[in-house]
């Protein structure tokens, strides 16, 4: 056989294989290494005889499959320590010259196109134009597979319920930022540029590591054998860590972690909280932090005494936020942090089902919802897209746009420099018919009456496809491996029918071409409703009847369900073959919701109760869902007649939005009105009345009497105990102007009372201390007496009847009391109480800092309290924990000080900080703050100071996209906030003495003698001014740097910062953002990285 005949034979066989894969790496197990190397040697000889010259390059073009597969094979088998070309040249016996690399690389890219294999155009690293793509097609070299497995294993050990998509999104974000210090570059490039192929390999690697750790035998269908060998070697070295588990993840694949979804025609962006399986009595309380805002969200059980999981809960995100953190009440130490809007990549993409497509992953070439800052014409599209729909967003999302776009003809979409690719290769599909209307599982999944159908791409039907069916416990109950004309849907042939329950289907074939879907099935289920749409009536919703039908063999408790006017849904259980599924049946119905810049009310099935004062202050919108195309008009009814009409500003899919700003002038004249859908006022969807619901309160025994009290269903009093401000307010119904005082509030001291009308259909979070400015004080003597002796003692201290306990365990109580002293009716005891609390806090700084973020302290007051109590310069040397503290926007300052309590920042701590603070964290630690001069005032500050309108316009523009706390824009915004308030009386002394304080600052910085400290301070100095308000940002930085050096034992810094404590405290109260930013920068400047490797995360 001649050389050409040999190569022709290999080319025919290998090309057929290449046509059935996504990456060259997938063929390497099918072609023996000796055969590959023999073909490469023959190809190399022919190439070498003609090299250099075009004739040699034509040799490579003639046999594209041999060239691509053997080259990828060399990369997979022989790459090590950053070298590829020398080893390839050695195998080919040619000189490793730049000309050779260019010729071989150009041919590789050309041959990829011939074979219809990915060329990875998104790889922007010009220096790796050839070798980068060769290594991507190798599926990562064997040499560095252990690095890949190590970071997967480490991340899974840290994050319960981590999914492959979560892992790839996290790793991509880290690689694009500071990167991994101890992970070889081909691994980082594969994750960053591998798109759907990287996701699929990560998914398979999750299963591979689990199988190896469990001692399973090799599965030849999972990944190439070299992956298995590398995983086994890592396991033998005890390198596979135990997967973290907090019960939040079902093995069957059902998504049960908090996640973002889009409600395009209703509330916009939602945070969907999962069902809670171990909630007592089917109830749970979530603590949700959106940037600096904290809210407690209660879920209701499905029915009284239910042992079913507390159902999923949706929270509308009313404005752009950078980060969210979610925890169950009582488990606040188990925070689930998530990025919402990333300033480096502000585009959020959602599938047609409204589910988020993880950032960093390609979008489907199909209809996709896009949420982004700017207007549609600002999108940069490679290829073309068709806008299918544009949906309005809530008022707080001004400056953002939500569109549904068909991406079938697009290859990439770019927003503000961040590019998202579009999936280019056809993949398998799991097709279903429409879900059963009006029915979901108890956990919120849609329910299907027919089994789904698996469809593989026609161009890949000859590939090997592995289809598995998993039950709700993750156990494989059916598996089929097909190729060619074999039907993957024979998967269902050996399953007992009819099906009932939650299942997951996983289709695997060529890398990146598979599909996974979790869904609930009750075969033969159909539900008919009479009427088919429930509208509002005075008592709630129209009564309704549901008739339920199922397939023969499915048992269901009732075939007919009656809904009264106050019933929104009923729960049924379907069972077949010992498998069951709880169904929530809810007939389609009318809803009304409200959204403004300051608040929102979720969709309700009864008229909303709104405040006249709130509407005038921040009007907002009513969102009416009538379920069908209509022409609704809002009639404003006052004294039984229509005084105004409001037309919807937008309507689509039966959802209509009414701008209540049109109502403001009317409300100033007539503050009590009803909003109805007819001029007779028959169908009321909201009522608006003055905020005051009563005049005066008296206490008679255990009864509260409300004077001139309105009569309204759901009228509730919230009672705040001023001698126990850490306790949630008690809620009691007001009936006929009276309410019963709870036993624990009897003789418990003064009470603040807030009344509001509750909607039993849509429970709102209870009012908090930010609302007590509208409260009424009911004087009373006493303090809280309960089973907790420490709580009783602190309450007694607030009542003035004892000193504060010397040994305090619950510092959250102290922080809450300290922050709210002015509202607790203490009179002349405010200052002594503050001093006593500060002394306790300063004596145990670590415990105090740990409790601060979870207390009721308003976020703007945190820096003030840290300066006032001395925690800003407290010695934390003994406070360092083994794990990074939870990072939120609200808790960033205490987290920063606790992270570096040992003066060292680990990689875990840096990573947690970067989510909240931005990428500049690493730069500051390395002595290269990329935004060092941001926040320094210059001549433009004078212009913005003299022109408030211009300043407000600049602030609106800069604040459109939420930034990391330490980003350049955040620092400038903090400086501008100071400029706006620079005439505040609290700053009078500091501005007047700014020149002398600045001189002292300069002298202290020289005495400290640290280069990084001096650079951080110098970067804040005004270029020409040495006094007045222009130098206050520099003084803020000096205070912060001095405090952090004082905490580490610098006596000069300690003396100076204590002397300047009062003006620094005043500055913190007036400009909290500036002081917070500077303290975090100072901590990063004075601290340093942990040297060496500190874990697989690198």
Q: How many CB atoms lie within 10 A of CB 880?
A: 16
Return d(Cα 67, Cα 43) in angstroms, integer: 8
* CA 306 from centroid of its chain's CA atoms: 30
CA 1041, distance to chain mean position in Å, is: 32
Question: CA Rg, the chain, in Å?
Answer: 33
Reduced to 3 states, what is the DSSP secondary structure of residue 723?
coil
Q: What is the 3-state secondary structure (H, E, C) of 762-800?
A: CCCCCCCHHHHHHCEEECCCECCCCCCHHHHHHHHHHCC
Q: Determine the pLDDT at residue 879.
A: 66
pLDDT number for residue 1093:
40
In the chain, what are the domains? 3-137 (no CATH), 142-236 (no CATH), 248-340 (2.60.40), 341-424 (no CATH), 425-524+545-581 (no CATH), 591-688 (2.60.40), 692-843 (no CATH), 844-1098 (no CATH)
- Tokens 């004075």 belong to residue: 1086
CA–CA separation, 362 vs 376, rounded Å? 20
Tokens coding 226? 């070299």
Tokens for 974, please give them.
């903090």
Strands (E), 392-499: 400-406, 410-415, 418-421, 429-431, 439-441, 447-448, 453-455, 465-470, 476-482
Task: Work out the angle between the directed axes of helices 811-820 and 830-843 (0-180°, nearest 10).
Answer: 150
Q: Are the C-beta atoms of 373 and 400 separated by less than 8 Å? A: yes
How are beta strands 634-638 and 673-676 bridged, if at all? antiparallel
1056-1061 long-range contacts, CB within 8 A, separation 24+: 1056/1000, 1056/1004, 1057/872, 1057/873, 1058/873, 1060/997, 1061/867, 1061/868, 1061/870
Round to whole Å and give the CA distance between 182 and 1024.
45
**Residue that the structure tokens 């407690």 belong to:** 296
**What CA–CA distance (Å, rounded) separates 412 from 383?**
7
- What parts of the chain have a pLDDT lower than 50? 126, 248-255, 301-306, 1092-1098
> Three-state SS string across 954-995, please?
HHHHHCCCCCCCCCHHHHHHHHHHHHHCCCCHHHHHHHHCHH
For residues 843 and 848, give the distance between their C-alpha atoms in angstroms, rounded to a whole number.
9
CA distance between the termini of the chain: 52
Instruction: Report d(CA 220, CA 201) in Å as an integer.
Output: 14
pLDDT of residue 1097: 42
pLDDT at residue 40, rounded to an integer: 94
Given a contact cutoff of 8 angstroms between Cβ atoms, the answer to whether 514 and 24 are in contact is no
pLDDT for position 346: 93
The pair of structure tokens assigned to 31 is 């072609």
Quick one: which of 607, 684, 679 has its CA closest to 643? 679
Q: How far apart are CA 461 and CA 513, in angstroms?
A: 11
CA 897, CA 1076: separation in Å to the nearest integer? 11
Within 10 angstroms of residue 428's Cβ, the number of other Cβ atoms is 23
Nearest alpha carbon to residue 46 among 83, 15, 10, 85: 10
Q: What is the pLDDT of residue 391?
A: 85
Count of residues in the chain: 1098
This prediction's pTM: 0.80
Q: Which of 428, 417, 288 is nearest to 343 (CA)?
A: 417
Report the C-alpha gap between 896 and 850 in whole angstroms: 11
Question: Are 677 and 635 contacting, i.e. CB atoms less than 8 angstroms apart?
Answer: yes
Sheet holding 526-530, edge to edge: 526-530, 544-549, 560-563
**What does DSSP assign to residue 139?**
T
**Residue 645: enclosing H or E segment and its boundaries?**
strand 641-646
Among 668, 691, 708, which Cα is nearest to 773's? Answer: 691
Nearest Cα neighbor of 364 from 381, 384, 349 is 349
pLDDT at residue 255, rounded to an integer = 44
Beta-carbon contacts of 856 under 8 Å, excluding residues fewer than 6 positions away, are 725, 726, 768, 769, 812, 815, 816, 819, 820
Strand stretches in 165-258, DSSP E: none
Rounded-to-10 torsion of CA 165, 356, 190, 963? -110
Cα–Cα distance for residue pair 311/923, rounded to 1 Å: 43
The DSSP call for residue 140 is: S
Q: What integer pLDDT is reported at residue 379 of this predicted model?
A: 92
| pLDDT score, position 305 | 45
Three-state DSSP state, 639: coil
In terms of Cβ atoms closer than 10 Å to its own Cβ (0-12, 13-18, 19+), residue 748 is buried
Query: What is the C-alpha separation between 950 and 943, in angstroms, rounded?
Result: 9
Q: What is residue 278's predicted lDDT score, i.e. its pLDDT?
A: 56
* Residue 1082, both tokens: 């100072």
DSSP 358-384: PTTSPBPSSEEEEEEES-GGG-EEEE-
Determine the pLDDT at residue 915.
Answer: 87
Region label for 298, one of left (φ > 0), alpha (ψ between -120 and 50) or beta (otherwise): beta
C-beta of residue 324 within 8 angstroms of C-beta of residue 231: no
Q: What is the dihedral of CA 836, 841, 843, 849, to 10 degrees?
A: 180
């Amino acid at each position: 056989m001649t050389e050409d005949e040999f190569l022709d034979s290999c080319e025919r066989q290998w090309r057929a294989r290449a046509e059935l894969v996504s990456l060259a790496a997938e063929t390497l197990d099918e072609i023996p290494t000796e055969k590959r190397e023999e073909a490469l040697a023959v190809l190399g000889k022919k190439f070498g005889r003609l090299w250099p010259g075009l004739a040699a390059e034509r040799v490579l073009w003639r046999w594209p499959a041999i060239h691509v597969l053997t080259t990828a094979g060399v990369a997979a088998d022989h790459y090590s320590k950053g070298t590829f070309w020398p080893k390839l040249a050695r195998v080919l016996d040619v000189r490793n010259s730049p000309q050779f690399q260019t010729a071989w690389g150009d041919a590789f890219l050309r041959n990829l196109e011939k074979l219809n294999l990915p060329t990875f155009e998104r790889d922007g690293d010009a220096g790796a134009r050839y070798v980068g793509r060769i290594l991507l097609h190798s599926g990562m070299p064997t040499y560095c597979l252990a690095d890949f497995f190590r970071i997967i294993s480490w991340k899974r050990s840290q994050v319960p319920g981590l999914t492959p998509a979560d892992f790839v999104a996290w790793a991509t974000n880290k690689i694009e930022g500071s990167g991994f210090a101890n992970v070889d570059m081909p691994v980082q490039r594969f994750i960053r540029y591998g798109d759907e192929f990287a996701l699929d390999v990560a998914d398979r690697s999750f299963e591979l590591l689990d199988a190896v750790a469990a001692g399973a035998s090799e599965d030849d269908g999972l990944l190439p054998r070299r992956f298995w060998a590398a995983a086994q070697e890592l396991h033998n070295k005890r390198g596979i860590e135990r997967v973290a588990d907090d019960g939040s993840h079902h093995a069957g694949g059902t998504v049960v972690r908090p996640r973002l979804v889009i409600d395009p025609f209703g509330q916009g962006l939602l945070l969907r909280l999962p069902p809670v399986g171990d909630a007592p009595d089917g109830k749970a309380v979530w603590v949700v932090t959106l940037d600096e805002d904290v809210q407690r969200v209660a879920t209701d059980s499905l029915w009284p005494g239910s042992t079913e999981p507390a159902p999923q809960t949706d929270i509308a995100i009313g404005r752009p936020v950078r980060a969210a953190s979610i925890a169950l009440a009582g488990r606040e130490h188990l925070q689930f942090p998530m990025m919402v809007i990333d300033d480096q990549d502000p585009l959020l993409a959602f599938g047609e089902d409204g589910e988020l497509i993880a950032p960093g992953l390609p979008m489907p070439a199909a209809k996709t919802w896009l949420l982004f800052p700017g207007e549609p014409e600002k999108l940069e599209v490679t290829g073309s897209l068709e806008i299918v729909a544009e949906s309005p967003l809530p008022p707080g999302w001004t400056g953002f746009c939500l569109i549904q776009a068909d991406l079938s003809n697009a290859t990439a979409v770019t927003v503000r420099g961040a590019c998202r690719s579009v999936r280019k290769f056809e993949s398998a599909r799991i097709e279903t018919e429409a879900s059963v209307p009006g029915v979901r599982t108890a956990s919120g999944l849609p329910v299907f009456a027919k089994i789904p159908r698996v469809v593989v791409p026609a161009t890949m039907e000859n590939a090997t496809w592995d289809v598995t069916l998993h039950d709700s416990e993750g156990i494989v109950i059916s598996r089929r491996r097909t190729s060619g004309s074999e039907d993957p849907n024979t998967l269902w042939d050996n399953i007992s029918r009819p099906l009932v329950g939650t299942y997951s289907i996983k289709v695997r074939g060529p890398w990146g071409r598979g599909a996974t879907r979790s869904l609930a099935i009750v075969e033969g289920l159909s539900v008919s409703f009479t009427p088919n749409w429930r509208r509002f009536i005075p008592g709630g919703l129209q009564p309704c009847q549901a008739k339920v039908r199922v397939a023969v063999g499915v048992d269901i408790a009732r075939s007919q369900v009656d809904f009264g006017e106050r019933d929104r849904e009923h729960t049924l259980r379907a069972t077949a073959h010992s498998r069951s599924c709880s169904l929530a049946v809810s007939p389609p119905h009318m809803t009304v919701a409200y959204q403004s810049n300051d608040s929102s009310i979720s969709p309700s099935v009864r008229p909303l109760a709104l405040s006249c004062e709130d509407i005038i202050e921040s009007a907002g919108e009513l969102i009416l869902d009538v379920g069908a195309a209509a022409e609704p008009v809002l009639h404003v009814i006052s004294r039984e007649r229509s005084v105004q009409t409001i037309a919807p500003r937008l309507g689509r899919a039966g959802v209509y939005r009414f701008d209540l700003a049109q109502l403001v002038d009317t409300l100033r004249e007539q503050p009590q009105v009803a909003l109805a859908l007819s001029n007779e006022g028959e169908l009321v969807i909201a009522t608006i009345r003055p905020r005051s619901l009563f005049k005066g309160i008296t206490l008679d025994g255990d009864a509260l009497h409300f004077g001139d009290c309105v009569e309204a269903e759901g009228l509730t009093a919230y009672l705040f105990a001023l001698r126990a401000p850490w306790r949630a307010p008690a809620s009691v119904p007001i009936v006929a102007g009276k309410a019963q005082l709870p036993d624990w509030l009897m003789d418990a001291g003064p009470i603040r009372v807030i009344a509001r009308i509750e909607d039993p259909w849509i429970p709102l979070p209870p009012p908090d201390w930010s609302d007590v400015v509208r409260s009424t004080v009911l004087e009373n003597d006493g303090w809280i007496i309960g089973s907790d002796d420490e709580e009783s003692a602190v309450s007694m201290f607030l009542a003035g009847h004892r000193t504060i306990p010397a040994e305090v365990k619950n510092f959250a109580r102290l922080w809450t009391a300290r922050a709210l002293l002015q509202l607790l009716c203490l009179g002349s005891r405010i200052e002594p109480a503050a001093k006593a609390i500060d002394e306790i806090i300063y004596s145990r700084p670590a415990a105090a800092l740990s409790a601060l973020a979870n207390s009721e302290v308003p976020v703007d007051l945190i820096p003030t309290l840290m300066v006032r109590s001395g925690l800003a310069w407290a010695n934390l040397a003994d406070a360092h924990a083994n794990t990074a503290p939870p990072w939120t926007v609200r808790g960033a300052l205490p987290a920063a000080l606790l992270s570096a309590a040992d003066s060292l920042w680990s990689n875990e701590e840096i990573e947690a900080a970067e989510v909240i603070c931005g990428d500049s964290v690493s730069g500051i630690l390395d002595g290269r703050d990329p935004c060092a001069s941001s926040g320094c005032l210059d001549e433009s500050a004078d212009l913005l100071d003299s022109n408030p309108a211009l300043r407000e316009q600049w602030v609106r523009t800069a604040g459109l996209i939420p930034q990391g706390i330490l980003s350049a824009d955040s620092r400038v915004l903090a400086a501008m906030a100071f400029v706006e308030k620079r005439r505040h009386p609290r700053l009078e002394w500091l501005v007047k003495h700014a020149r002398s304080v600045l001189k002292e600052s300069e002298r202290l910085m020289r005495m400290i003698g640290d280069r990084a400290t001096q650079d951080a301070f110098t970067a804040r100095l005004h270029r020409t001014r040495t006094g007045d308000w222009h130098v206050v940002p520099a003084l803020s930085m000096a205070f912060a740097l001095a405090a952090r050096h004082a905490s580490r034992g610098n006596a000069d810094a300690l003396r100076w910062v204590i002397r300047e404590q009062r003006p620094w405290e005043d500055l913190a109260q007036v400009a909290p953002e500036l002081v917070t930013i500077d303290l975090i920068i100072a901590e990063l400047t004075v601290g340093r990285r942990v040297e060496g490797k500190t874990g697989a995360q690198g």
